Amino acid sequence: MSIINLSRREWLKSSAVAGAGLTLGVYFNQALAEGAAATPAAAPADAAPAAAAAFEPNAFVRIAPDNTVTIISKHLEMGQGVHTGLATLIADELDADWAQVKVEDAPADSRYNNLFMPMQLTGGSTSIANSFMQMREAGAAAKAMLVGAAAVLWSVPVGEIKVEKGVVSHADHQATFGELANLAAQQPAPKDIKLKTPDQFIYIGKNNLRRVDALAKTNGTAQYTQDLHLPNMLVAVVAHAPTFGAVVKNVDVSAATAIKGVVEVINIVNAVAVLANDFWSAKQGRDALKIEWDESKSFKLSSADQLKLYQELASKKGAVAKQTGNAEQALSQAAQVLTAAYEFPYLAHAAMEPMNSVVQLKNGTCEIWNGDQAQTIDQIMVGKLLGIDPKNIKINTLLAGGSFGRRGNTNSDYILEAVRIAQISKREVPIKLVWTREDDMRAGYYRPYFYHVLKAGLDKDGQLIAWQQRVIGQSIVANTMLAGMAQNGIDPTSVEGSGGGYAIPNIDIELHTTELGVPVQWWRSVGHTHTGYATEVFIDELAVAAKQDPYQFRANLLANQPRLLGVLKLAAEKAGWGTPLEGKRGRGIAVVESFNSYVAEVAEVTVRDDGTYTVDRVVVAVDCGWAINPDVVYAQMSGGVGFGLSAALSGKITLKEGKVEQSNFHDYTILRINQMPKVEVHIVQSAEKPTGVGEPGVPPIAPAVANALSAVTGKRYYTLPLPNQV
């Protein structure tokens, strides 16, 4: 299929069908209807501001007389490279010079919706996928109008005009975009937009671009929410409840208010906020609060009890998520039956920038500054709290110092906290809520704790004939405005990826959805973080039981999955699969499809005599369709490996009588430079439409490492994080 021959409508249809985006969209519509709130904002009357007569051909490009091309990004830049990606698409079709391109964040407005969902949201690794045609068209339309302007100015035919690197020319005429901006603004918008053919691309698919944010992120000028200083702004630091669900019974503020710089203490029921002129005073005030909590309704379980609870559920039949053939019967006829149970802890996102947001309520209006992943949801949630029409909630999106899903909270948790503080204080000044690392680590909204029980059967020839997988865990969408995504008791994000893409004639996937007081949320690659591990480690164990090579065993079962098979083969080949390794070294492989991208990883480990080990090398093969920015694809794969490895080696949030036991980076350790393996990334050359890369690098790494360790030790690893010594 040639990606460039699709019309936008065909494109969207073909892109969304397989994606989670569509599901999300359908059910979100219901939520919108119920809330009757999110009427899409009309294009603001000042859409084409008179400001210095910039040329604004559409919502995504602005060309100023000073020759700057500003790309308006509808997606949050949180490290994944989307500012660069969207700019690449527009700049290529526009034939802009990369040096003249700047990116600014879009306001919250329905014109900036994710085309896969009826809302403005960055997530599900959909940014490039949904924008691919839209941004190219935006760039091409702008170029057509610049050319049209030049044709008028020079009285020459449009067809004879050339555009190259930001310069429009014809024989002896030449003009920059900036010089033509005024005139271009008077040109009619083109009806037929002609896009480039791939051979004409100058930036797309090339490795010749510096990230648009590279400079600001190396000289200290990049602006994150944390960095905002507005006139009269106050800083809020909060004392959160010690357990989930506790509320304030009593608070003694005397010591806090005595601290220099403290302005006010505000009780918001489930937390107490101290407002001060700067962070340090607010934090000292917070630490001086004496709060008595009512914990009668709070969540009080310990992690060990939770495991027991889940194990009990695992012995009972759950809701059916997927059923093919008759697994029960096939198992009874199998020559070999294997069972295994896997345990996955809660995980914190632990973005480097702890959660924060700035809110100003003034004269009945609300303005928010935030590294915002889900503007529409936040508008609805805040609108509901304040009784303001959501479209009048103004959101200024800033760079996010990481997110990994955390800033796309379906309950808008930390934003609502800031809004409530502002609401009660009635001060009408900007209030910056700043969480400490400890606040961030203990606030919940974790990757849910999961427990899986698997059972599979091999026939006498070692053929995999049956697969049962019972998944137990909390639903991410339950009790949120996306609750409709769960149908017949199945939250798709709990089970997605179970069983992988393997050709197994009899499959049963079941789910027990638990309801616990610990808030949960998507965490980079969502359900695949655990289903990928259970599936890929179990497949490995089955391969060994079938006396087959783990790579070959997978390849046989993926014969009808060309893209999974393609990355599997590529990773194996590049890693030298099958070649001997000396000493106590081993290789492990895993392959996972997530968010319509296909990733295989081969990990190489060395086990020392004392059982400690290092992950030395990881070979990644990725098929993400057309790779818009190969350099960003590399970065996301490598970063995904590091992020996933961090969780595999030590990521774990545990509870003791409801209290989160971890608090900062000393007890929730993050992968450091000396632990980072060498990573090689191989991108499958593809003419398929582009899919996402922000998340799909994560799922295969933990199982690849576990399988590599097993190759050395002969033992299997059923619990994450992996043991320190094997």
Q: Which does 213 bind (CB under 5 to 8 A by kind): another protein, ligand FES, none?
A: another protein
Amino acid at the residue 609: D
Nearer to ligand FES, 380 or 693 (CB): 693
The reply to whether 500 sits near ligand FES by the rule CB under 6 A is no
Binding mask 175-214 for another protein (x = CB under 8 A): -----------------------------------xx-xx
Q: Does 215 bind another protein (CB under 8 A)?
A: yes
Beta pairing partners, 520: 446
Chain mean position to CA 418: 23
List the structure tokens of 328: 């029960």
Q: Please, how many CA atoms are within 13 Å of residue 264, restricted to the half-sphere of its CB? A: 14
Binding of residue 318 to ligand FES (CB under 6 A): no
Separation of CA 283 from chain center: 30
Classified as helix, coil or strand, 248 is strand
Extract the tokens encoding 621. Answer: 């093969």
The one segment of 28-36, 236-244, 595-603, 668-676 that binds another protein by CB under 8 A:
668-676
Q: Which is nearer to ligand FES, 402 or 625 (CB)?
A: 402
Q: How far is the CB of 663 from ligand FES (least distance, A)?
A: 13
676: region left, alpha or beta (phi > 0 left; psi from -120 to 50 alpha) = beta
- Nearer to ligand FES (CB atom), residue 213 or residue 661: 213
Q: Name the residue among 58, 102, 42, 110 with its Cα closest to residue 77.
A: 102
The alpha helices in 549-605, defined as continuous H runs, are 550-557, 562-575
Shortest Cβ 219–another protein spacing (Å): 7
Comparing CA positions, the residue from 356, 403, 348 lying closest to residue 664 is 348
| 183 and 149 Cβ atoms separated by less than 8 Å | yes
Q: Helix (H) and strand (E) counts for the chain?
A: 18, 27
Contact code string over 56-85 relative to another protein, x by CB under 8 A: ----------------------xxxx----
Which listed option, another protein, ligand FES, none, makes contact with residue 51 (CB within 5 to 8 Å by class)? none
* Residue 79 in the binding site for ligand FES (CB under 6 A): yes
Beta-carbon contacts of 219 under 8 Å, excluding residues fewer than 6 positions away, are none
For ligand FES, the closer of residues 279 and 718 by Cβ is 279
* 647 part of the interface to another protein, by CB under 8 A: no
Number of neighbours of residue 579 by Cβ within 10 angstroms: 7
Whole-number Å distance between alpha carbons of 12 and 15:
5
Is 354 a binder of ligand FES (CB under 6 A)?
no
Q: Give yes or no for residue 694 binding ligand FES (CB under 6 A).
A: no
- 670 counts as binding another protein under rule CB under 8 A: yes
| 223 versus 250: smaller Cβ distance to another protein | 223
Q: Where are the alpha helices (DSSP H) in 155-214?
A: 177-184
Which positions from 121 through 160 interact with another protein, judged by CB under 8 A? none
**Residue 353 binding another protein, by CB under 8 A:** yes
383 binds ligand FES (CB under 6 A): no
Q: Minimum CB separation from another protein for residue 30, in Å?
A: 33
Which single residue is written with the structure tokens 């000073």? 66
> Does position 402 bind ligand FES by CB under 6 A?
yes
| Contacting residue, 22, 59, 676, 684, with another protein by CB under 8 A | 676
Please give the residue whose beta carbon sits closest to ligand FES in the complex: 352
Size of interface with another protein, in residues (CB under 8 A): 60
* In the complex, minimum distance from the CB of residue 638 to another protein, in angstroms, rounded to a whole number: 6
Contact call for residue 220 and another protein (CB under 8 A): yes
Task: Look at residue 308 and give the partner it binds from ligand FES, another protein, none, a contact being a CB closer than 5 to 8 Å depending on partner kind.
Answer: none
Residue 278 interacts with another protein (CB under 8 A): yes or no: yes
Kindly calculate the radius of gyration of the chain based on its CA atoms and give it in whole angstroms: 27
Q: CB nearer to ligand FES: give 81 or 497.
A: 81
Binding to ligand FES by residue 352, rule CB under 6 A?
Answer: yes
Assign 651 to helix, strand or coil.
Answer: coil
> Interface mask (CB under 6 A) for ligand FES, residues 153-192, using x and -?
----------------------------------------
Nearer to another protein, 488 or 674 (CB): 674
* 646 interacts with another protein by CB under 8 A: yes
Residue type, 154: W
CA–CA separation, 223 and 554 (whole Å): 46
Distances (CA, A) of 634 to 73, 573, 581, 629, 683: 22, 18, 26, 9, 8
Can you say how many angstroms the Cα of residue 685 is from the centroid of all Cα atoms in its chain?
24
DSSP code of 225?
A: G
Query: Residue 671, interface with another protein (CB under 8 A)?
Result: yes
Select from 71, 119, 266, 400 the one that contacts another protein (CB under 8 A). 400
Residue type, 49: P
Decide: is 431 part of the binding site for another protein (CB under 8 A).
no
Beta bridge partners of 72: 104
- Which strands sit side by side in the sheet containing 678-683, from one edge to the other? 585-594, 597-607, 613-623, 678-683
547 lies in the binding site for another protein (CB under 8 A): no
Cβ contacts of 607 within 8 Å, gap of 6 or more = 584, 585, 586, 613, 709, 712, 713, 726
Show the site string, 126-145: x = touches ligand FES by CB under 6 A, - = not: --------------------
Contact 648, 447 (CB under 8 A): no
Residue 702 makes CB contacts below 8 A (sequence gap 6+) with 529, 532, 533, 644, 645, 647, 648, 720, 722
Q: Which is nearer to another protein, 331 or 443 (CB)?
A: 443
**What is the distance in angstroms between the CA of the first residue and the CA of the last residue of the chain?**
47
* Contacts with another protein, residue ranges (CB under 8 A): 78-81, 210-211, 213-224, 226-227, 229, 235, 260, 278-280, 350-354, 399-404, 436-437, 631-632, 635, 638-639, 641-643, 645-646, 664-666, 670-674, 676, 678-679
* Contacts with ligand FES, residue ranges (CB under 6 A): 79, 352, 402
